């Protein structure tokens, strides 16, 4: 069973993503900001991180920068999740280490398509 860490400050988004990903047979962990996500990755690195852009405490970009500096045994696949329909943001995220991106609002079809592109399903 593959594991997914869902990182989003919105409880509703985390719930929606959890429902979809549990349906896809992923083991789920949740974090509500980048700092908590980093701690979760240090405890147990997931196979994939579904990462929000705008969050308090530590946002998605700062999480990506911090993750790069971590001496982790494996590197999780990072799928960036944003409402910003802005190529500059997406390019910055990819340059910072994100593997793919998803536009909100997402559904199961979108997540499955993107996860397939990065070899997760
Ligand atoms: Mg947010």
As a whole number, the mean pLDDT across the chain is: 94
Q: How far apart are the first and last CA of the chain?
A: 11
| CA 59 to ligand 1 center in whole angstroms | 8
| CA 53 to ligand 1 center in whole angstroms | 6
Instruction: Say what the pLDDT of residue 82 is.
Output: 84
| CA 32 to ligand 1 center in whole angstroms | 9
| CA 52 to ligand 1 center in whole angstroms | 6
Model confidence at 32, pLDDT cuts 50, 70, 90, reads very high
DSSP string, the chain: --EEEEE-S-HHHHHHHHHHHHHTT-EEEEESSHHHHHHHHHHS--SEEEEESS-SSS-HHHHHHHHHTS--SS--EEEEEES---HHHHHHHHHTT--EEEESS--HHHHHHHHHHTT--
| CA 5 to ligand 1 center in whole angstroms | 15
| CA 83 to ligand 1 center in whole angstroms | 9
| CA 10 to ligand 1 center in whole angstroms | 6
Q: Measure the CA–CA gap between 77 and 85, rounded to whole angstroms.
A: 22
Model confidence at 78, pLDDT cuts 50, 70, 90, reads very high
Domains and CATH numbers, the chain: 3-117 (3.40.50.2300)
Model confidence at 86, pLDDT cuts 50, 70, 90, reads confident
Model confidence at 12, pLDDT cuts 50, 70, 90, reads very high
Distances from the Cα of 26 to the Cαs of 33, 65, 84, 93, 96, in angstroms? 20, 25, 26, 24, 25
């Amino acid at each position: 069973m593959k594991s997914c860490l869902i990182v989003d400050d919105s409880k509703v988004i985390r719930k929606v993503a959890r429902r979809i990903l549990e349906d896809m047979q992923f083991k789920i962990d949740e974090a509500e900001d980048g700092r908590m996500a980093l701690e979760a990755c240090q405890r147990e690195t997931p196979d994939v991180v579904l990462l929000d852009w705008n969050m308090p405490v530590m946002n998605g970009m700062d999480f990506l920068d911090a993750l790069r500096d971590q001496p982790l045994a494996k590197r999780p696949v990072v799928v960036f999740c944003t409402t910003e329909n802005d190529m500059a943001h997406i390019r910055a995220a990819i340059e910072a280490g994100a593997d793919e991106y998803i536009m909100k609002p997402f559904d199961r079809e979108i997540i499955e398509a993107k996860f397939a592109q990065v070899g997760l399903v």
